[in-house]
């Protein structure tokens, strides 16, 4: 290994966006390093752009034209006099050719050496390397022979259920389970074609499927002098569709002995790669046997790195910069500490009540309480616009304290009090996870969300108190009307009027109508919502806040109206968007009875059908992409494709009629 003379970095260009850009900028500032942000059209007004010391426009919003465009990034770095590039995570972070290109241009790439990135780019090569270095891997197959016959024989040898993974995979794409030989052929074809589409490589590996597994990963760190340490584990078992939702440290299941054993295996894996920066060794931990197996090495800073920073007290971005400058690690394995407990929740703009479809929107209000031990890594602020182009993660909430129960209490409080109005988020879904007894006791596996929170029994549970929010909306609108009436007539203030007849207002919530009747009598509003009656006093109202009293209890809610949309939040009642129903709904809305519409703003990826084609129920009609996720619109019943309005590659709004079907 070459040992080099340390060389100070003066300017870092951050080839990324959102919260991770802001987070890297913070460390740069602390170290006296000039930071340069890059931005696309969609990100012009994002907070991270202002956070940086300077910012450069690099192109259109589509990632390929900006954040993934190596020429533009290198040009921006050279143009701004940057001597280093930090790739963050995603985009160019695990791209060995980009890391090499930086070196050729005389720019320091803040990450591991390109050879170790390349070595981990293929799941089959990674398995081979780990087997050579006696790191335990899941029993499996990673050979070149991809014939169905060989895969079948290997699956039988491994024993069902088996998991098929894309050799070039990542982000849970191209993964399929085959529970028996009968399912294998279908699973192979599905995994191959998904892998082909996502990565341009249909190669597969097979692994024994660990039915009750936990995802436990170790943070590793190396320098350019051959030192490698680990910074303990993060438990990332709370997942949905193989994607992490919450991460914690320490893991509720690791004993000191197991931790030491797994840590050693992680360091061995890193040594196999001559690893020289921040990385993560992921393991799957078999809950039933206590055995653990190598999954992969992520050759970058992870989304969940703050959990490790909280318990170790280290700044991982600073350590990355130190290693990249050529300095040796400042701490030894023995000096690594783990204090207390830390938990991270990923706040996504997505709709848990509608298959977690990503959501867009204008954030009217983003606020959270100040708590000791809370670290908010937010990509957005009040006023930020969420586009369809990028990942829907809008904030990471990290809480650190003495023990797990204390942290859970604080996190629940933050998730209740936090206001994020203007889009739909998973805020209350995260809270539901924390409130589940299995999460609280730490007894869960990777199926927890799917089995405990999304099963048939929990389906349809209302997250919000609809009558409460309908009342709040009515009073907000009433107070606004009252104010303008008073202004117009210059009547002295004070709500004097009474009305004896019921007024009626109609709202829509998720497409369902909600009717509210109310009247005002001697200072009290009588509300009728469905069968229920409520007596409510309006205590105060201002800008976006409203205070009401009912049954002797005071409630402070946040209400923001934008056109017909009313965004409401109350810590105990939830967050909700109500729409004031139009009295005379537009005709065009009902004209497309046989039409299929886009559920959200998207890009049309593919239209596998033609006009006049006969299709069966369940056939894919259109594939849409929004925020890195593909969604298929399928036929609800048998029929013939009528007129097609969508075209491949088009950017469309929510509600756009894609095509029509004839019976």
Between 215 and 431, whose beta carbon lies closer to ligand ADP?
A: 215
What residue has token string 């089995």?
Answer: 451
- Per CB under 6 A, which region of 83-91, 97-105, 207-215, 341-349 contacts ligand ADP? 207-215
Beta strand residue intervals within 176-334, DSSP E: 176-178, 204-208, 213-222, 228-235, 239-240, 243-244, 246-249, 278-286, 292-298
Q: C-beta of 174: minimal distance to ligand ADP in Å?
A: 7
Cβ(187)–Cβ(177) under 8 Å? yes
Residue 300 known to be catalytic: yes
- One residue of 87, 112, 169, 203 binding ligand ADP per CB under 6 A: 169
Which 269-308 residues touch ligand ADP, going by CB under 6 A? 282, 284, 295-296
Number of residues that bind ligand ADP (CB under 6 A): 19
Phi-psi region of 81 (alpha: psi -120 to 50; beta: other; left: phi over 0): left
- One residue of 205, 210, 262, 349 binding ligand ADP per CB under 6 A: 210
CA distance 456 to 462: 14
- One residue of 51, 194, 207, 309 binding ligand ADP per CB under 6 A: 207
- Per CB under 6 A, which region of 79-87, 204-212, 223-231, 591-599 contacts ligand ADP? 204-212
Q: C-beta of 535: minimal distance to ligand ADP in Å?
A: 51
Q: C-beta of 353: minimal distance to ligand ADP in Å?
A: 24
Beta partners for 624?
604, 631
CA distance 64 to 603: 14
How many CA within 13 A on the CB side of residue 346?
22
- Per CB under 6 A, which region of 166-174, 300-308, 428-436, 476-484 contacts ligand ADP? 166-174
Q: C-beta of 218: minimal distance to ligand ADP in Å?
A: 14
**By C-alpha distance, which of 386, 389, 401 is closest to 348?**
386
**Does residue 16 touch ligand ADP according to CB under 6 A?**
no
- One residue of 215, 234, 305, 404 binding ligand ADP per CB under 6 A: 215
CA distance 607 to 331: 55
Report helix, strand or coil for 4: coil
**Does residue 171 touch ligand ADP according to CB under 6 A?**
yes
**Does residue 172 touch ligand ADP according to CB under 6 A?**
yes
Cβ(95)–Cβ(69) under 8 Å? no
For residue 378, how many other CB atoms are within 10 A of its CB?
21
Q: C-beta of 584: minimal distance to ligand ADP in Å?
A: 50
Sign of CA dihedral 610, 612, 613, 614: positive
Site string for ligand ADP, 436-455 (x = CB under 6 A): ----------x---------
Cβ(285)–Cβ(214) under 8 Å? yes
**Does residue 176 touch ligand ADP according to CB under 6 A?**
no
**Does residue 233 touch ligand ADP according to CB under 6 A?**
no
Between 447 and 614, whose beta carbon lies closer to ligand ADP?
A: 447
The per-residue DSSP string of 25-61 comes to HHHHHHHT-EEEEEEEGGGTT-HHHHHSSEEEEEE-S
Q: C-beta of 221: minimal distance to ligand ADP in Å?
A: 20
Between 244 and 577, whose beta carbon lies closer to ligand ADP?
A: 244
User: Beta 108-109 vs 84-86: how paired, if at all?
Assistant: parallel
Cis-peptide, bond into residue 250, ω within 30° of zero: yes
Q: C-beta of 445: minimal distance to ligand ADP in Å?
A: 9
Cis-peptide, bond into residue 161, ω within 30° of zero: yes
- One residue of 95, 113, 232, 239 binding ligand ADP per CB under 6 A: 239
Q: C-beta of 347: minimal distance to ligand ADP in Å?
A: 20
- Per CB under 6 A, which region of 114-122, 161-169, 323-331, 338-346 contacts ligand ADP? 161-169
Between 236 and 329, whose beta carbon lies closer to ligand ADP?
A: 236
- Per CB under 6 A, which region of 18-26, 40-48, 167-175, 359-367 contacts ligand ADP? 167-175
**By C-alpha distance, which of 371, 303, 314 is closest to 88?**
303
- Per CB under 6 A, which region of 203-211, 350-358, 387-395, 610-618 contacts ligand ADP? 203-211
- Per CB under 6 A, which region of 163-171, 375-383, 389-397, 512-520 contacts ligand ADP? 163-171
Cβ(553)–Cβ(544) under 8 Å? no
**Does residue 163 touch ligand ADP according to CB under 6 A?**
yes
How many CA within 13 A on the CB side of residue 449?
21
Question: Residue 360 has what DSSP assignment?
Answer: -
- Active-site residue, from 300, 346, 404, 577: 300
Q: C-beta of 209: minimal distance to ligand ADP in Å?
A: 5
Distance separating the N- and C-terminal Cα atoms of the chain = 69
Could you list the residues that contact ligand ADP (CB under 6 A)? 138, 163, 165, 169-172, 207, 209-210, 213, 215, 239, 242, 282, 284, 295-296, 446
Q: Which residues are catalytic?
A: 300
């Amino acid at each position: 290994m070459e040992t080099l003379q340390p060389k100070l970095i003066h300017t870092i260009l951050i080839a990324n966006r959102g919260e991770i850009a802001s987070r890297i900028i913070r460390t740069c500032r602390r170290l006296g390093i000039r930071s340069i942000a890059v931005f696309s059209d969609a990100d012009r007004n994002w907070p991270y752009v202002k956070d940086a010391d300077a910012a450069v426009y690099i192109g259109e919003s589509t990632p390929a034209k900006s954040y993934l465009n190596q020429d533009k990034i290198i040009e921006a770095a050279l143009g701004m006099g940057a001597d280093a590039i930090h790739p963050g995570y995603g985009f160019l972070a695990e791209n060995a050719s980009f890391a090499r290109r930086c070196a050729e241009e005389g720019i320091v790439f803040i990450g591991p050496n390109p050879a170790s990135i390349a070595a981990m780019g293929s799941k089959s090569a990674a398995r081979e390397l780990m087997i050579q270095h006696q790191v335990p891997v899941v029993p499996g197959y990673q050979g070149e022979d991809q014939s169905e016959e060989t895969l079948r024989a290997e699956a039988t040898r491994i024993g069902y259920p088996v998991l098929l993974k894309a050799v070039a995979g990542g982000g849970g794409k191209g993964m399929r389970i085959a529970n028996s030989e009968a399912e294998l052929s279908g699973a192979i074809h599905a995994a191959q074609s998904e892998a082909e589409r996502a990565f341009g490589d249909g190669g597969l590996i097979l692994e024994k499927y660990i039915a009750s597994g936990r995802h436990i990963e170790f943070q590793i760190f190396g320098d350019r002098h051959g030192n490698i340490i680990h910074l303990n584990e993060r438990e990332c078992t709370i997942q949905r569709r193989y994607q992490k939702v919450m991460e914690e440290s320490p893991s509720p299941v690791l004993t000191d002995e197991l931790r030491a054993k797994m840590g050693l295996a992680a360091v061995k894996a890193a040594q196999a790669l001559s690893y020289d920066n921040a990385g993560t060794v992921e393991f799957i931990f078999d809950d039933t046997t206590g055995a653990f197996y190598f999954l992969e090495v992520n050759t970058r800073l992870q989304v969940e790195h703050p959990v490790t920073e909280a318990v170790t007290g280290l700044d991982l971005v600073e350590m990355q910069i130190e290693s990249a400058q050529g300095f040796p690690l400042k701490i030894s394995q023995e000096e690594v500490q783990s204090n207390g407990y830390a938990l991270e929740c990923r706040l996504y703009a997505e709709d848990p009540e509608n298959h977690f479809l990503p959501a867009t929107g204008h954030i009217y209000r983003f606020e959270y309480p100040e708590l000791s031990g809370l670290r908010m890594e937010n990509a957005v602020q009040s006023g930020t616009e969420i586009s369809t182009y990028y990942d829907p993660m809008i904030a990471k909430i990290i809480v650190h304290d003495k023990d797990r129960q204390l942290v859970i209490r604080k996190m629940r409080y933050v998730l209740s009090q936090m206001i994020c109005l203007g889009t739909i988020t998973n805020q209350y879904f995260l809270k539901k996870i924390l409130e589940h007894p299995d999460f609280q006791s730490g007894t869960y596996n990777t199926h927890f969300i799917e089995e405990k929170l999304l099963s048939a029994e929990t389906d349809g549970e209302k997250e919000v108190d609809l009558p409460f929010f309908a009342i709040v909306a009515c009073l907000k609108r009433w107070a606004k009307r009252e104010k303008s009436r008073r202004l117009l007539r210059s009547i002295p203030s004070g709500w004097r009027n009474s009305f004896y007849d019921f007024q009626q207002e109609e709202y829509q919530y998720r497409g369902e109508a909600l009717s509210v009747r109310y009247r005002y009598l001697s200072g009290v509003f009588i509300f009728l919502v469905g069968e229920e009656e409520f007596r409510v006093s309006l205590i105060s109202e201002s800008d976006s806040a409203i205070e009401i009293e009912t049954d002797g209890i005071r409630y402070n809610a946040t209400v923001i109206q934008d056109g017909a949309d009313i965004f409401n939040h109350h810590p105990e009642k939830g967050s909700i968007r109500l729409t004031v129903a139009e009295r005379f709904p537009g005709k065009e809305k009902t004209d497309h009875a046989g039409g299929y519409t886009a559920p959200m703003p998207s890009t049309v990826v593919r239209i596998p059908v033609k006009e006049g084609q006969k299709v069966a129920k369940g056939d894919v009609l259109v594939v849409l992409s929004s925020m890195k996720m593909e969604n298929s619109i399928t036929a609800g019943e048998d029929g013939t494709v009528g007129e097609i309005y969508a075209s491949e590659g088009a950017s469309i709004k929510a509600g756009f009629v894609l095509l029509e079907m004839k019976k």
